[in-house]
Amino acid sequence: MNKVNEKNLLAFIIDYFTSIGCDPAEVNNYFTARRFNDGIVLNLPAVCLLPENKPASSKSNQTHIHVTSKARNFFYDSAALDNAAVSTPWKSQMLSISESNIKALTKEKASASLLVKDTSMMTKIECRKSQEKQVQLSKISKDGRLFLDLRRGLYENDIIIFLKYRNSEKFFVLGMPRAFFKDSYVFETARKNGALKSETYTSLVSQKAIPVRAAIEAVLEEHSSDEVIESEDAISDAVYQSLVDCAKPGNTTYSPVEYVEPDSEGSAGKSRRPAANPSLGREAIEYSRFRCSVDENHHSFMKPDGTPYLEVHHLIPLSQQADFKYKLDTKANIIPLCPNCHRMLHHGRIEDIEPILKKLYEQRIELLRQSGLDISFEKLKSFYS
């Protein structure tokens, strides 16, 4: 039996969508921890079903889905729950929903695509005397049509799952028939008799991707000495830019610093690109007053702290360190650039790169010489072609 928890809730959902015939590539690409950060699984007892789906034995006229105890916090924060002295008015919650999910539940043939559409659901906090406040979901006269279509496909002890998008207020909603998970999945903290009431899974973890934060931490751990990174692939460059972003700026000079080959011990198999210190990058960005060195009018986007986002580039690539006695990871050689210019220097055509390189060379050659790094323009250009 597979246990469903915050590490594999998304994999569980991916399994479901692939089982109904949706394209695995699309499904894998959609249900990632990059997109969703929170999830809740609600079991649907008879009382929470649409009237026509309730078992004959049920005498309930209830049409909403009620949510109690901790699970309420998925929909309302504690303050809102505490402050509600009387029932709150219904409000509309935006949802995304898969039409293929609805088709599968109603035994129509699902399409190979998820067909994600917008819909909505009403929610409120219900306060009753001598009862715990509850959250109510769904008011059938006001819910979106697709959400009601989904509910029409759900019967006793099926489940309904809500996922929170990382960067919007919207939820993704899906329904799953009990037959899909019974005997193959259990929910991590489901009660002893196997009955699931509700489970919330916060901070969903992707099984495949390493979150950037964790990657940065891994790098920092590996190089605890001087917050440095090595290896020259795109990922390490991205990690380096992130480290630059949160580094304290250094306060260095243009004096030459002799390059000392680090102990090769422990770094066997890694690239020959020498380590870069993010605090020098930070210093360069602040020294440039957050402007691109190619053209100070180049536009970059703002970071949440209100300063423009800039990257740093080593004019003489660090991979050429072997040809230089003095350090290439030094103030004179570190150029703040807008992301577009930076990508262009790495991935552009040489005829577009050359004029920019010339400009940067002329800006920097005196400082490079002060730092013990003398180089002709032709030689520098050869590193870029």
List interacting residues with Zn ion (CB under 5 A).
292, 294, 298, 313, 338, 341
State in angstroms the smallest separation of the CB of 354 from Zn ion. Answer: 16
Distance in Å, CB of 315 to Zn ion, minimum: 9
Task: Name 4's bridge partners.
Answer: 187
DSSP 205-217: --SSSPPHHHHHH
Within 13 Å and on the Cβ side, how many CA atoms surround 52? 6
Judged by beta carbon, residue 174 or residue 341, the one nearer Zn ion is 341
In whole angstroms, how close is the CB of 194 to Zn ion at the nearest point? 55
* Segments in 20-156 forming alpha helices (H): 24-30, 78-83, 99-105, 145-152
Q: What is the DSSP string of 285-340?
A: HHHTTS--SS-TT---PBPTTSSBP-EEEESS-GGGGGG-SB-SSSGGGEEEE-HH
- Identify the three-state secondary structure at position 22: coil
Question: What is the Cα–Cα distance from 153 to 355, expressed in whole angstroms?
Answer: 63
Q: Which is nearer to Zn ion, 172 or 240 (CB)?
A: 240
Between 33 and 312, name the residue whose CB sits nearer to Zn ion. Answer: 312
Residue nearer to Zn ion on the CB measure, 133 or 313? 313
Nearest to Zn ion of 110, 315 (CB atom): 315
Residue 18 has a CB neighbour count (10 Å cut-off) of 14
Cα(184)–Cα(141) distance, integer angstroms: 36
Alpha-carbon distance 183 to 179, whole Å?
8
Closest CB to Zn ion among 35 and 313? Answer: 313
Least distance CB 154 / Zn ion (angstroms): 53
CB of 216 to Zn ion, least distance (A): 18
Structure tokens at 239: 């990690």
Min dist. Cβ of residue 337 to Zn ion (A): 5
